[in-house]
Amino acid sequence: MKTVTIIVPCFNEAEVLPEFYRETRAVTDAAQGYDFSFLFVDDGSRDATLSILRTLQAENKDAGYLSFSRNFGKEAAMYAGLSRAKGDYVIVMDADLQHPPALIPQMLEGIEEGYDCCAAYRVSRKGEARIRSLFSSAFYHLSNRLSDVKMKQGAVDFRIMSRRMVDAILQLSEVERFSKGIFAWVGYETKWIPYENVERTLGKTKWTFGGLLRYALAGITSFSVTPLRMITWTGFIISVLAFLYIVVTIVQTLIFGIDVPGYVTTLCAILFLGGLVELSVGILGEYLSHLYLEAKRRPIYLLKEEAAPAGDEDAAEDH
């Protein structure tokens, strides 16, 4: 029987966790021919999440958990889950029921067809702030233009992956992780399943607008060096234009004599170039900050507690 590990990153999800487990269990219990287990990752929650997970683990054979020493972010939680998951297939999904468990059987079908990955994407964004949808679509356009790694618009972190794809992802051991890019970067064929956006009914989103913007910027600079090249090209083009302007000015001066005005032109040029230089230094800084954080090789997460599903230990004793 094929084993499937479901990884669920949880940060302050006490309100929704019992409901999540009930609904998802209903789906996994109905799916024949697979042995499911849950691996919850408590990402330093400050509410009752951890105690709920302890109870779930104690009362059910298929639930295990990891708990971080503090909040390390969803990316770290997914990485921890992937590195601990033992299943032949691994599913990653959110705890807030925005990733409909009902899609799991379809995902399993996809992977049985021979795909290494079967992932969900949203065809609608109803219930989401308009400004957020606008920025998100701008991000995908920009990122796909700038980078060779093409990301699917509307893709969410709800997917099933084969063992070899999970192992490939684990080889990308960068500290600053951007999973949407990593999933695309490792390649392998993905089958896409559309679904309607589901609004969060319990608990609330952990994302702030600024946080999303920083995440998007990190995403672009993690997977593309095109912005660096753009600096080079901008500098080159400005130098050529400046040179032409010098020639024109010299010729004009020789023919018409010295022309005194030019205060506004000078000011505009200084301000424009000043802005451009600052922007370029900023872009360089972004890449430098990646180097800085990666060079330190700090661990991606730190555990304070963990418990495997009771069923796993039973299976181990059987051998």
Task: Give residues in contact with Mg ion (CB under 5 A).
Answer: 96, 98
Q: State how far the Cα of 117 lies from the Cα of 137, in Å rounded to an integer.
A: 23
Closest CA to 36 of 83, 90, 109: 90
Does residue 136 touch ligand UDP according to CB under 6 A? no
CB 105 within 8 A of CB 193: no
Q: Applying CB under 6 A, which part among 5-13, 53-61, 106-114, 305-313 lies near ligand UDP? A: 5-13
Q: State how far the Cα of 289 lies from the Cα of 222, in Å rounded to an integer.
A: 11
CB 186 within 8 A of CB 150: no
Provide the residue count of the chain: 319
Helix/strand/coil percent split, the chain, to 5: 55, 15, 30
Question: Which one, 35 or 128, has the nearer CB to Mg ion?
Answer: 128
Give the amino acid at 295: A
Supply the minimum distance, in Å, between the C-beta of residue 156 and ligand UDP: 8
Q: Which does 25 bind (CB under 5 to 8 A by kind): Mg ion, ligand UDP, none?
A: none
- Per CB under 6 A, contacts with ligand UDP among 230-289 are none
Q: Which does 111 bind (CB under 5 to 8 A by kind): Mg ion, ligand UDP, none?
A: none
Q: Give me the 77-106 binding string for ligand UDP, x by CB under 6 A, dash otherwise.
A: x----------------xxx-x--------
Using H for helix, E for strand and C for coil, what is the string for 173-209? CCCCCCHHHHHHHCCCCEEEEEECCCCCCCCCCCCCH
Interacting residue with ligand UDP among 5, 11, 184, 223 (CB under 6 A): 11
CB 8 within 8 A of CB 40: yes
Number of residues binding to ligand UDP, judged by CB under 6 A? 16
Question: Which one, 204 or 319, has the nearer CB to ligand UDP?
Answer: 204
Strands in 43-189 per DSSP E: 63-68, 89-92, 117-122, 155-162
The end-to-end CA distance of the chain, in Å, is 16
Supply the minimum distance, in Å, between the C-beta of residue 68 and ligand UDP: 9
Supply the minimum distance, in Å, between the C-beta of residue 62 and ligand UDP: 19
Supply the minimum distance, in Å, between the C-beta of residue 96 and Mg ion: 4
Interacting residue with ligand UDP among 137, 153, 189, 207 (CB under 6 A): 207
CB 38 within 8 A of CB 62: yes
Does residue 71 touch ligand UDP according to CB under 6 A? yes
Supply the minimum distance, in Å, between the C-beta of residue 212 and Mg ion: 12
Tell me if residue 10 falls in helix, strand or coil. Answer: strand
Q: Which does 95 bind (CB under 5 to 8 A by kind): ligand UDP, Mg ion, none?
A: ligand UDP
Q: Which does 62 bind (CB under 5 to 8 A by kind): ligand UDP, Mg ion, none?
A: none
User: Cα dihedral angle (306, 309, 310, 314), rounded to 10 degrees?
Assistant: -120
Tell me if residue 244 falls in helix, strand or coil. Answer: helix
Does residue 24 touch ligand UDP according to CB under 6 A? no
Supply the minimum distance, in Å, between the C-beta of residue 80 and ligand UDP: 10
Question: Which one, 75 or 116, has the nearer CB to ligand UDP?
Answer: 75
Does residue 110 touch ligand UDP according to CB under 6 A? no
CB 89 within 8 A of CB 97: no
Does residue 116 touch ligand UDP according to CB under 6 A? no
Supply the minimum distance, in Å, between the C-beta of residue 25 and ligand UDP: 17
Question: Hunting for tokens 């779930």 — which residue is that?
Answer: 56
Query: Which residues bind to ligand UDP, rule: CB under 6 A?
Result: 9-11, 13, 43, 71, 73-74, 77, 94-96, 98, 205-207
